[in-house]
């Protein structure tokens, strides 16, 4: 269990993290999610010891590490831009932590081989970081962080510098890796889909504070406030309310409180269909439905429909 208690961190006048408390269960995969400037990276760096908090304490496995430098915290840290040691080969990068700890050479060699196998870089041991792709560099950085058997693995926007396809691959791969290695992991991301796909627990931050903590489903279905709702999934303005665009019922017949609207635009995204509607009083609302639903409604530009919020 990793606990950050009442953490405050200021940079000059700017309060980056404001009295934040989080608890990360042992063996879990937790996401610190939020827009840029929300304080998520700063909180991660406070946990790692790379930043000193102005207030609060950090406890890793019942050990108060608040005053300790990063060297003594038993952490592994992965940076957004890899922070590869450029003048060392892949295997030397991975061996770094073990060599600092003066482990016997045979043990180091064995462990490095295991880790390179785990991150699928066995054939690249003698290469230099400059000869690797972004995704490979980040896997190397992960192996390097795991080499020292950290109590907690901290990842700061680990896929942020990669292109969309590699990102998706690495995401799935990290999830599998976590299921294999079971090290308590905290990762920072601004991508809600990434957080929802990977994390057991999401801590959603905004302007230095925690807005809500919970599983992906809790945050999606029971958002604590409008910020959470609009950050964690698509929203549509329906009257005064924020609703999920798939929670708006569209039908061809009037029933009860439903309002009349004209279809202005239909976008087919494969399984999903989106439509922009104009209500009679001039307000606009967008809705999401499946391909089959759209086909049944015979949804076309200019057609008349009736909409109501799904109860």
Partner 1 sequence: MKRLGRYALRLVGLSYLFVLLALPMGLIFRRAFQDGLGPAWDAVTTPAAKHALLVTLMIAAIAVPANTIFGIICAIAVVRHRFPGKNLVNAIVDLPLALSPIVVGLAFLLLFGTGGWLEELPFNVVFAVPGMVLATVFVSLPFVVREVVPVLREIGTEQEQAAATLGAGGWQIFRRVTFPAIRWAVAYGVVLTMARALGEFGAVSVVSGRVIGKTESLTLHVEERYQSFDYVGAYAASVLLAMLAIATLVAMTVFRPKEETR
Beta strand 209-214 with 201-206 is: antiparallel
Closest to 82 (Cα-Cα) out of 155, 179, 131, 1: 155
Which residues pair with residue 202 across a beta bridge? 31, 214
The residue count for binding partner 1 (CB under 8 A) is 27
Closest to 274 (Cα-Cα) out of 306, 252, 251, 299: 299
Residue 193: phi and psi, rounded to 5, are -65, -40
Site string for partner 1, 34-63 (x = CB under 8 A): --------------xxx-------------
Nearer to partner 1, 128 or 220 (CB): 128
* Shortest Cβ 70–partner 1 spacing (Å): 5
Q: Enter the tokens of residue 109.
A: 């060699």
Considering only residues 79 through 118, tell me which ones interact with partner 1, judged by CB under 8 A.
Answer: 79, 81, 83-88, 96-97, 100-101
Candidate residues 12, 36, 62, 71; the one interacting with partner 1 per rule CB under 8 A? 71
Q: Enter the tokens of residue 179.
A: 């299921």
Binding status of residue 68 toward partner 1 by CB under 8 A: no
- 72 vs 51: CA distance, rounded Å: 14
**How many CB atoms lie under 10 A from the CB of residue 85?**
16
Binding status of residue 77 toward partner 1 by CB under 8 A: yes
Nearer to partner 1, 144 or 190 (CB): 144
Candidate residues 68, 148, 224, 308; the one interacting with partner 1 per rule CB under 8 A? 148
Nearer to partner 1, 100 or 181 (CB): 100
In contact, 119 and 94? CB cutoff 8 Å: no
* Shortest Cβ 116–partner 1 spacing (Å): 16
* Shortest Cβ 67–partner 1 spacing (Å): 15
Site string for partner 1, 115-144 (x = CB under 8 A): -------------x------------x--x
**How many CB atoms lie under 10 A from the CB of residue 15?**
17
Angle (CA) 225 230 232, round 5°: 95
List residues near partner 1 by CB under 8 A: 48-50, 69-71, 75-77, 79, 81, 83-88, 96-97, 100-101, 128, 141, 144-145, 147-148
């Amino acid at each position: 269990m990793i606990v950050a208690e009442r953490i405050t961190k200021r940079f000059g006048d700017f309060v980056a993290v404001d009295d934040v408390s989080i608890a990360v269960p042992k063996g879990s995969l937790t996401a610190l999610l939020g827009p840029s400037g929300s304080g998520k990276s700063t909180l991660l760096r406070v946990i790692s010891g790379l930043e000193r908090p102005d207030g609060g304490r950090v406890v890793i496995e019942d050990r108060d590490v608040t005053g300790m430098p990063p060297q003594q915290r038993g952490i592994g840290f992965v940076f957004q831009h890899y922070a590869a040691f450029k003048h060392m080969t892949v295997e030397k990068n991975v061996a770094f932590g073990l060599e600092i700890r003066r482990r016997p050479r045979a043990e180091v060699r064995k462990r490095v081989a295991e880790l390179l196998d785990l991150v699928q870089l066995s054939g690249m041991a003698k290469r230099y970081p400059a000869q690797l792709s972004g995704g490979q560099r980040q896997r190397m950085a992960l192996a390097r962080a795991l080499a020292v058997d950290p109590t907690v693995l901290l990842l700061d926007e680990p896929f942020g510098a990669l292109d969309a396809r590699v990102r998706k691959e690495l995401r799935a791969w990290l999830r599998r890796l976590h299921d294999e290695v079971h090290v308590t992991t905290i990762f920072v991301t601004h991508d809600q889909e990434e957080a929802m796909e990977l994390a057991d627990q999401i801590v959603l931050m905004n302007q230095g504070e925690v807005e809500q903590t919970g599983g992906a489903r809790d945050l999606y279905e029971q958002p604590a406030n409008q910020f959470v709702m609009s950050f964690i999934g698509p929203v549509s303005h329906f009257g005064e309310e924020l609703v999920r665009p798939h929670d708006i019922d569209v039908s061809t017949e009037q029933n009860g409180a439903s309002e009349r609207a004209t279809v202005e635009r239909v976008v087919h995204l494969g399984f999903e269909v989106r439509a922009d509607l104009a209500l009679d009083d001039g307000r606009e609302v967008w809705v999401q439905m499946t391909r089959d639903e759209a086909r049944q409604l015979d949804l076309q530009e200019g057609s008349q429909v009736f909409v109501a919020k799904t109860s």
